[in-house]
C-alpha cells in the first residue's frame, strides 16, 4: 500500500502528474509539426467551431489552454476551475470518433487505429479527473459545514 505524508496526498500527486502531461502536450503544439495530435486537433476544432476559427489560431489557443491548465494543476491553484476545464477538454478529445471515424477506427466500434488508441487512452484521464473533482467537491462540502 502506498503511504504518503500529510504534505503529499494521492490527489495532489495525481493532479501534478496530469498537469505534467497537459504542460508537455500543450507545449508541443507551440512548435509546428512537433505534436502528433496537431492535425487532428486543428481539424476537430474546425468542425466544432464550424470553421470560424483559423486552424493555426485554434492550435495556439489549444496550446495555451493545455499549458495553462497543466500549470494550474501542478501548482494546485484554482483547482476546481482547472479540473472543470480539464473535464471539458477531455470530453472534447473524444469528438474525432464522431467527426472522423475513418481516421479513428479500422473496424468500428472496436477496431481502433493508432490515432483512435491515442484518443481512447484519455478515458483514464477522464476517470482520474472525475475522481479529483469529486474529492474537491467533498472538501468544499466539509468546509461549508
Question: How far is it, in rounded angstroms, from Cα 15 to Cα 83?
Answer: 9
pLDDT of res. 1: 45
Question: How far is it, in rounded angstroms, from Cα 38 to Cα 127?
Answer: 24
The pTM (predicted TM-score) of the whole model is 0.86
Flag whether pLDDT at 114 surpasses 80. yes
Q: Report which of residues 80 and 140 the model is more confident about.
A: 80
| Residue count (the chain) | 145
Domain boundaries, the chain: 10-144
- If pLDDT is split at 50, 70 and 90, which confidence band does 117 have? very high
- If pLDDT is split at 50, 70 and 90, which confidence band does 145 have? low
pLDDT of res. 7: 57
Lowest mean pLDDT among 48-62, 101-115, 127-141: 127-141
Flag whether pLDDT at 5 surpasses 70. no
Question: How far is it, in rounded angstroms, from Cα 27 to Cα 17?
Answer: 15
Amino acid at each position: 500500500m502506498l503511504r504518503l505524508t500529510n504534505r503529499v496526498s494521492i490527489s495532489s500527486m495525481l493532479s501534478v502528474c496530469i498537469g505534467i502531461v497537459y504542460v508537455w502536450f500543450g507545449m508541443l503544439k507551440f512548435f509546428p509539426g512537433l505534436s502528433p495530435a496537431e492535425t487532428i486537433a486543428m481539424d476537430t476544432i474546425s468542425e466544432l467551431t464550424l470553421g470560424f476559427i483559423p486552424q493555426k489560431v485554434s492550435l495556439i489557443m489549444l496550446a495555451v489552454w493545455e499549458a495553462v491548465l497543466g500549470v494550474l494543476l501542478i501548482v494546485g491553484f484554482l483547482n476546481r476551475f482547472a479540473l472543470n476545464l480539464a473535464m471539458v477538454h477531455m470530453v472534447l478529445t473524444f469528438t474525432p470518433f464522431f467527426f472522423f471515424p475513418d481516421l479513428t477506427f479500422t473496424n468500428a466500434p472496436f477496431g481502433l487505429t493508432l490515432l483512435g488508441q491515442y484518443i481512447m487512452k484519455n478515458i483514464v484521464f477522464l476517470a482520474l479527473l472525475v475522481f479529483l473533482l469529486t474529492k474537491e467537491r467533498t472538501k468544499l462540502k466539509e468546509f461549508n459545514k
